[in-house]
Chains A and B, each alone.
Chain A
Amino acid sequence: MSPLLLSATTLTTCLGRGLAVHAEALRTGQSGLRPCDFETVQLDTWIGEVEGVDAAALPASLHEYDCRNNRLALAGLEADGFVERVRAAVQRYGSRRVGVFLGTSTSGILETELAYRARDAATGALPASLRYATAHCPFSVTDFVRQYLGLEGVALTISTACSSSAKVFAAAARQMALGTIDAAVVGGVDSLCLTTLYGFASLQLTSTQPARPYDARRDGISIGEAAAFALLERADAAQGGGVWLLGTGESSDAHHMSAPHPEGLGARLAMEAALRSAGLAPQQVDYVNLHGTATPANDAAEGLAMAALFGAGVPCSSTKGATGHTLGAAGAVEAVIAALALTHGWIPGSPGTQVLDEALALDYRLAVSAAPLRTVLSNSFGFGGSNCALVLGARP
């Protein structure tokens, strides 16, 4: 593919709001996880909750979009001057030439969960205040961002569980390659809700401790929430500088709804496709931000795919011990973390991980280390066997 410039990025997670907070937290190996006290949830697990989400007030003109997920989206957009960067792009290209491609797994489902507690005792009806289109539907967050930023180009939500917001980079790149748009806001927004907390617990995939990716004793995920965005534009690569999307790769496991292919075959196909798309050999990748959820099966499958493709030759780590697994937002969160690593010249460590699983023969990094990075690969794999890998690179 033709490289695309990430001309602006931002992210908001349990580590805080904005790029600077994340760069410092990742450089010093902090974690934002804490014991679960979300809403009325009673589960022995840890979560990555973003502080003050419910204090974000949507503009009165967009009040019908009000839900936790869109409040989180707004908080995310307001960090790092991202809104202003998009508005400048609209000035350059026109509102109909800027698209919006966002990934989410649960969108505003929390609103519906809460509304079910407030059903009319006599009729069973949901409260009048519940709005399906703007506060429940998977498109709600994309439509909100589109309206808030005044964008009128191609827009869609991708909802493929935990690969959702990696795949939006590929979808946006396709439309830009075809020339239907000149720029795209891409990203992911997923917020805490009862469905995912109780759902992953029902599958025995949540840990009672902070997540320990690739640890010999890893026993499950910590669910987090996040909003991460990037602005993609065509630019003159010869000018140098910046972080670029160099390649995207997508595949399906064709194996099981909630378990990965045991040898990580789908994961490997996605990574190979991303390298092919970027025109790179495995040896040219300097760091891999793993999907690394910290469940026994996911890390084992991904580790086998990594070893098959890279041997033990590439530094890798998972940052989900810092942010939690932000589900539909994870792909975009980790793409922005990859961009931070390229910009700042360090390889993130793996907060929470103590004793590496020696069965997985990888150059897995527990602690942060300085490294001049040129090319980073970021993995995202989801339920239903949906896989996506992104290649990002710095152009010095």
Chain B
Amino acid sequence: MNRVLTAWIDGIGLIAPGLPDWPSAAAVLCGAQPWRSEPSVLPAAALLPPAERRRASRVIRLALALGQQAAAQAGADLAQLATVFAASGADGHNCHALCEQLAGDDRQISPTRFHNSVHNAAAGYWGIATRSMAPCQVICAYDGSLGAGLMDALAQVALDGRSVLLVCYDSEYPEPLHAKRPLPDAAGMAWLLAPRRSGASLAQISVTPGGQGAPTRMQEGALEALRAQFPSLRALPALDALARRSTADVALDYLPGHSLGLRLQPC
């Protein structure tokens, strides 16, 4: 018997091509605005000190902005939040630069390049920027990374009775790795998940693991393309329900042959 994992969504962050933030995305998902194909807009890493802000890579700007969007909407104290970062890859541009240099004669790579190569680089910068000493997870399950991150975040909400910020993101590799992992741009979403309903709560989310059905798709072609292109946007049908403030059941693809059943109920 599978237990249903439940939490309240108190904040939402979203950045994707043509969808610079959650309010803009909600307007598109509701049909109030058309979606336009535009590159993702990654804000400056405002949380970081000026020197590090200037050097912040695309993936760091993406992850920090997603987390900040969701936490700000909920009025959460960043310094107290436990976090789950879920990403199908890390900093693709940094990875390319390292591999290119290590293939050459001069292998004296830069220390900064090396410490930015870890999968938890964005999470590390989040901790430094927010001064949060709370637990931080950094999870990968390839195309199922969002489902894996959601399962762990909900487990912490249930067991520890605390709010958990889930940040899921993807960033592109440049060529020649792009041909091996063709993510077209940077994109992602964040949910602030709370154990109890509050004035900030937007909806209740209940997740039942162990489903085997096909994932729920977007009806609109361009939005379905985004869902399919970015592992971190696989929950777009759930975000669609949140934007419309409607109750919905969504199958989220997780691992091959294994999906998660999501029920969204607006407050």
List A residues at the B interface (Cβ < 8 Å): 42, 96, 105, 109, 112-113, 115-117, 119, 124-126, 130-133, 136-140, 142-143, 146, 152, 154-161, 167, 171, 174-175, 177-180, 194-195, 198-200, 202-203, 250-258, 265-266, 269, 273, 382-386
In the bound complex, how far is the Cα of B125 from the Cα of A253, in angstroms? Answer: 11
For the complex, is B121 an interface residue (Cβ under 8 Å from A)?
A: yes
For the complex, is B123 an interface residue (Cβ under 8 Å from A)?
A: yes
In the bound complex, how far is the Cα of B127 from the Cα of A342, in angstroms? Answer: 35
Residues of A contacting B145 in the complex (Cβ-Cβ under 8 angstroms):
139
Residues of A contacting B135 in the complex (Cβ-Cβ under 8 angstroms):
250-252, 273
In the bound complex, how far is the Cα of B120 from the Cα of A252, in angstroms? Answer: 12
Of A126, A154, A157, the residue contacting B180 (CB under 8 A) is A126
A138 touches B177 (CB 8 A): no
A159 touches B133 (CB 8 A): no
A178 touches B158 (CB 8 A): yes
Q: Could you tell me which residues of chain B, from 87 to 122, have a CB within 8 Å of some CB in chain A?
A: 88-90, 95, 98-100, 102-103, 107-111, 113-121
In the bound complex, how far is the Cα of B103 from the Cα of A136, in angstroms? Answer: 16
For the complex, is B134 an interface residue (Cβ under 8 Å from A)?
A: yes
B177 touches A160 (CB 8 A): no
Interface SS of chain B: mixed
Of B90, B123, B255, the residue contacting A155 (CB under 8 A) is B255
For the complex, is B156 an interface residue (Cβ under 8 Å from A)?
A: yes
Q: Find the B residue at minimum CB distance from A194.
A: B102
Whole-angstrom distance between the Cβ of B73 and the nearest chain A Cβ: 23
Residues of B contacting A273 in the complex (Cβ-Cβ under 8 angstroms):
135
Residues of B contacting A117 in the complex (Cβ-Cβ under 8 angstroms):
103
For the complex, is B152 an interface residue (Cβ under 8 Å from A)?
A: yes
Q: Find the A residue at minimum CB distance from B173.
A: A132
Residues of A contacting B115 in the complex (Cβ-Cβ under 8 angstroms):
199, 203, 257-258, 383-384
Residues of A contacting B141 in the complex (Cβ-Cβ under 8 angstroms):
139, 142, 155-157
Residues of A contacting B133 in the complex (Cβ-Cβ under 8 angstroms):
251-254, 265-266, 269
A383 touches B152 (CB 8 A): no
Known contacts A119-B103, A154-B148, A180-B209; can you find 7 more A-B pairs with CB under 8 A?
A: A132-B181, A138-B90, A139-B88, A158-B138, A179-B3, A252-B132, A255-B128
Q: Could you tell me which residues of chain B, from 1 to 58, have a CB within 8 Å of some CB in chain A?
A: 1-3, 5
A384 touches B103 (CB 8 A): no
In the bound complex, how far is the Cα of B95 from the Cα of A126, in angstroms? Answer: 14
Residues of B contacting A178 in the complex (Cβ-Cβ under 8 angstroms):
3, 5, 155, 158-159
B111 touches A258 (CB 8 A): yes
Between A and B, 8 residue pairs with Cβ closer than 8 Å are A119-B176, A179-B1, A180-B3, A198-B108, A202-B109, A250-B135, A254-B128, A384-B138
Of A42, A116, A152, the residue contacting B102 (CB under 8 A) is A116
For the complex, is B250 an interface residue (Cβ under 8 Å from A)?
A: no
Whole-angstrom distance between the Cβ of A114 and the nearest chain B Cβ: 8
Whole-angstrom distance between the Cβ of A45 and the nearest chain B Cβ: 13
For the complex, is B213 an interface residue (Cβ under 8 Å from A)?
A: no
For the complex, is B245 an interface residue (Cβ under 8 Å from A)?
A: no
Residues of A contacting B1 in the complex (Cβ-Cβ under 8 angstroms):
179
For the complex, is B124 an interface residue (Cβ under 8 Å from A)?
A: yes
For the complex, is B197 an interface residue (Cβ under 8 Å from A)?
A: no
In the bound complex, how far is the Cα of B100 from the Cα of A382, in angstroms? Answer: 25
Whole-angstrom distance between the Cβ of A113 and the nearest chain B Cβ: 5
Encode contact with A along B153-196: 1 for CB under 8 Å, 0 otherwise. Answer: 00110110000000000000001110111000000000000000
In the bound complex, how far is the Cα of B126 from the Cα of A254, in angstroms? Answer: 8
Residues of B contacting A136 in the complex (Cβ-Cβ under 8 angstroms):
180
A137 touches B3 (CB 8 A): no
Q: Find the B residue at minimum CB distance from A142.
A: B141
A152 touches B257 (CB 8 A): yes
Whole-angstrom distance between the Cβ of B87 and the nearest chain A Cβ: 9
Whole-angstrom distance between the Cβ of B10 and the nearest chain A Cβ: 21
A174 touches B155 (CB 8 A): yes
Of B99, B110, B121, B176, the residue contacting A202 (CB under 8 A) is B110
Whole-angstrom distance between the Cβ of B235 and the nearest chain A Cβ: 16
Whole-angstrom distance between the Cβ of B75 and the nearest chain A Cβ: 21
B118 touches A105 (CB 8 A): yes
In the bound complex, how far is the Cα of B133 from the Cα of A119, in angstroms? Answer: 43
Interface centre among A113, A133, A273, A385 (most CB of B within 10 A): A385
B99 touches A180 (CB 8 A): no
For the complex, is B228 an interface residue (Cβ under 8 Å from A)?
A: no
A257 touches B116 (CB 8 A): yes
Of B89, B125, B138, the residue contacting A137 (CB under 8 A) is B89
B120 touches A382 (CB 8 A): yes
List 6 tightest A-B contacts by C-beta distance, closest first: A384-B124, A199-B114, A159-B119, A250-B135, A116-B103, A174-B155
Residues of A contacting B152 in the complex (Cβ-Cβ under 8 angstroms):
156, 171, 174-175
Interface centre among A105, A178, A253 (most CB of B within 10 A): A178
A202 touches B209 (CB 8 A): no
Whole-angstrom distance between the Cβ of A90 and the nearest chain B Cβ: 15
Residues of A contacting B120 in the complex (Cβ-Cβ under 8 angstroms):
159-161, 382-384, 386
Q: Find the B residue at minimum CB distance from A116.
A: B103
Residues of B contacting A265 in the complex (Cβ-Cβ under 8 angstroms):
133
**A257-B140 contact, Cβ under 8 Å, with A159-B119, A178-B5:** no
**A384-B123 contact, Cβ under 8 Å, with A142-B141, A156-B141:** yes
